[in-house]
Amino acid sequence: MVLSPRVQDPVRALWAPEAAVEFGMPASCELAAPAVDAPAVTPFPASSSVGSDMSASAASDSSAAALPASSADSAAGAAEAAKAEILDKRRRHVGPNLALFFQDEPLHIVEGRGAELFDAQGTPYLDCINNVSHVGHCHPRVAAAVAAQLTRLNTNSRYLHAGLGDYAAELAALLPAPLEVVYMTVSGSEANDLAWRVAAAVARRADPGDARPLHVACVDHAYHGHTSFCIEISPYKFKGPGGGGRLAHVHVLPCPDVYRGQNLDGRAAARAAIATAEASGGRLAAFFSESILSCGGQVILPEGYLAGLYAEMRAAGAVCVADEVQCGFGRVGRAFWAFELQGVVPDIVTFGKPCGNGFPMAGLVTTRAVADGFASGGMEFFATFGGCTAAPACGLAVLDVIREERLQQNAAAVGAHCLARLRALQAQHPSHIGDVRGEGLMVGIEVVTDRDPAPALAAALKLHAKRAHRVLLSTEGPYSSVLKIKPPMCFSIAQADQMVAALADGLAALEASPTHKAALLERNAAEVAAVRERHARLG
Ligand SMILES: Cc1ncc(COP(=O)(O)O)c(C=O)c1O
């Protein structure tokens, strides 16, 4: 892959083509077939505002800029050469459909601290994407806890070790009754996969005489993981590029769209899914959903949405699974778990990403009754690394840091500040910022043109933020038109302001160049039409 030749002057050449690739979309480099409708960013020149204080300071604070010109040039040349070698090796030996952030100009990040990432030349980037490094990149306390355990002992869970029970008890204390029994896995996908096995066991045990096949329900545009089962319940994948479409035993509830006032009744959505399952000869065993729909575009569910929905699902015999892999562990600020915002108690809660701050650990928590139902089949549950000795050591350290650094409270305060600043920006650009929504540090900005999704514009803003301000954002939602902000929980007010300034500058650059704005808007329509066609075909 050749790095974009347009990036000659990082301040002025801000809007070069880039196929927008976020996780879940194949990279359109030489190695992977381009996604049919992978959006590209239309070239766009910088406005005068782009040479603002922010970009000027961002440009001058790299360590390379501090060196004498010749040393800086050779350092930059060496860094580019190293990057090209890494890319080449990746291209030769790593699976071709592994996506890169900013694939036409990927970053070679070598270090992380707090909410910042540093490339090989020491250039800092503000990380508004990473909700895995929950308490901050490479938090020394978490790293030390894992290192200490790895140096002493790390085995599977078949020996007695205090850590596993301690961690399970701490998690249970953070959850409402009757959620109290923990199973540990390594990834969020594995946790959701296991949740399905648990739900299926419970359904079969509840009515052994009912021979109908077990069906499952999920919400449109959701992503629940990469195992075969998880792909089946992830419309984000099965309706996405390369997706195989919905399978007959999967029933998809429409995604609520509060901004446009559509699909707001959870109870009605549940009833429809139950009726379809029964009409096709099946019975619903489980309903999976996040409580803020992250890949769906940071969708905040209408008040009471899950309460009515859960009631209907349970009446039909289905177990309700809350996927807290993205939104758990205090991210939503007002609560430790996102489902609490809906006033419901799920039957199973799956968790992952943030719990290990980058160490691979995940799991589920359920009720004693459900766990006993699962165990009653007699099959042992075993995962070599799930609950290995190092995992609880890590998880306990993460929980300590969340508490001691008051990160949930920080998420609430900084999140509220982000929303207020972004809403002020929305008031200045009402035709392109359709909606600003969020809870805590889970924030979404719906980029639109006349209320229609504007994926090309969102991609351009994302690229501008990276190039001119070194602010890393991602896009999500059915049309990749929602800018998603989910930084490490130590994100500060100053960093929030830096992120908002990057977006404000991008929008100013857009307004200053009507020709390029028109080109972007034209692309939006084509991209949205292509996605709609694919969804209709695979849904
Ligand atoms: C909501 C949600 N659930 C589950 C998963 C799967 O987790 P993992 O990638 O750890 O398997 C993800 C990953 O992005 C996710 O966002």
Ligand 1 center to residue 4 CA distance, Å? 31
Ligand 1 center to residue 442 CA distance, Å? 15
Please tell me if the CB atom of residue 358 comes closer than 6 angstroms to any atom of ligand 1. Answer: no
Q: Whose CA is nearest to atom 13 of ligand 1?
A: 225
Rounded to whole angstroms, the Cα distance separating 475 from 444 reads: 9
Rounded to whole angstroms, the Cα distance separating 433 from 439 reads: 18
Angle at 130 between CA 55 and CA 231, to 5 degrees: 130
Q: What was the pLDDT predicted at 76?
A: 83
> Of 432, 427, 391, 24, nearest to 224 (Cα)?
24
Give the residue, out of 189, 229, 230, 332, with the most ligand 1 atoms within 8 A of its beta carbon, to mutate for a pocket test: 189
Rounded to whole angstroms, the Cα distance separating 145 from 168 reads: 17
Ligand 1 center to residue 361 CA distance, Å? 12
Please tell me if the CB atom of residue 484 comes closer than 6 angstroms to any atom of ligand 1. Answer: no
Which atom of ligand 1 is found nearest the CA of 23?
A: 14
Ligand 1 center to residue 353 CA distance, Å? 7
Please tell me if the CB atom of residue 326 comes closer than 6 angstroms to any atom of ligand 1. Answer: yes
Tell me the domain boundaries of the chain.
Answer: 48-135+407-538, 140-404
Q: What was the pLDDT predicted at 69?
A: 55
Rounded to whole angstroms, the Cα distance separating 316 from 309 reads: 11
CB 408 within 8 A of CB 174: no
Locate 499 and state its tokens: 């992120």
Please tell me if the CB atom of residue 495 comes closer than 6 angstroms to any atom of ligand 1. Answer: no
Q: Which residues, at least 6 apart from 508, have a Cβ–Cβ distance to it below 8 Å?
A: 47, 49
Angle at 91 between CA 86 and CA 92, to 5 degrees: 100
CB 103 within 8 A of CB 28: yes
Please tell me if the CB atom of residue 188 comes closer than 6 angstroms to any atom of ligand 1. Answer: yes
Please tell me if the CB atom of residue 325 comes closer than 6 angstroms to any atom of ligand 1. Answer: yes
Ligand 1 center to residue 226 CA distance, Å? 8
Distance of alpha carbon 535 from its chain centroid, rounded? Answer: 21
Rounded to whole angstroms, the Cα distance separating 25 from 443 reads: 22
458-476: burial string, b at 16+ Cβ within 10 Å, e else: bbbbbbbbbbbbbbbbbbb
> Of 444, 459, 451, 467, nearest to 520 (Cα)?
459
H or E segment to which residue 327 belongs: none
Please tell me if the CB atom of residue 224 comes closer than 6 angstroms to any atom of ligand 1. Answer: yes
Q: Where are the alpha helices (DSSP H) in 449-513?
A: 455-469, 493-511
111-145: burial string, b at 16+ Cβ within 10 Å, e else: ebbbbbbbbbbbbbbbbbbbbbbbbbbebebbbeb
Provide CATH code, domain 48-135+407-538: 3.90.1150.10
Q: What is the mean pLDDT of each run of 10 residues along the chain (539 residues)?
A: 30 32 27 34 42 32 42 82 95 96 95 98 97 98 98 98 98 98 98 98 94 98 98 97 97 96 97 98 98 97 98 98 98 98 98 98 98 94 97 98 98 98 98 97 96 96 98 97 98 98 97 93 93 94
Strand partners, 112: 117
Q: Whose CA is nearest to atom 16 of ligand 1?
A: 326
| Residue owning tokens 């001119």 | 468
Please tell me if the CB atom of residue 225 comes closer than 6 angstroms to any atom of ligand 1. Answer: yes
Pairing outcome for strands 442-449 and 433-439 = antiparallel
Q: Whose CA is nearest to atom 4 of ligand 1?
A: 224
> What phi, psi does 110 have (nearest 5°)?
-120, -10
| Residue owning tokens 């429809």 | 272
CB 474 within 8 A of CB 499: no
Please tell me if the CB atom of residue 352 comes closer than 6 angstroms to any atom of ligand 1. Answer: yes
Give the amino acid at 38: A
| Residue owning tokens 């060496």 | 78
Q: What was the pLDDT predicted at 10?
A: 28
Ligand 1 center to residue 201 CA distance, Å? 23
CB 188 within 8 A of CB 325: yes
Give the residue, out of 231, 236, 325, with the most ligand 1 atoms within 8 A of its beta carbon, to mutate for a pocket test: 325
Ligand 1 center to residue 158 CA distance, Å? 26
Please tell me if the CB atom of residue 196 comes closer than 6 angstroms to any atom of ligand 1. Answer: no
Please tell me if the CB atom of residue 229 comes closer than 6 angstroms to any atom of ligand 1. Answer: no
Please tell me if the CB atom of residue 189 comes closer than 6 angstroms to any atom of ligand 1. Answer: yes
Provide CATH code, domain 140-404: 3.40.640.10
| Residue owning tokens 């758990």 | 328
Q: What was the pLDDT predicted at 34?
A: 31
Please tell me if the CB atom of residue 294 comes closer than 6 angstroms to any atom of ligand 1. Answer: yes
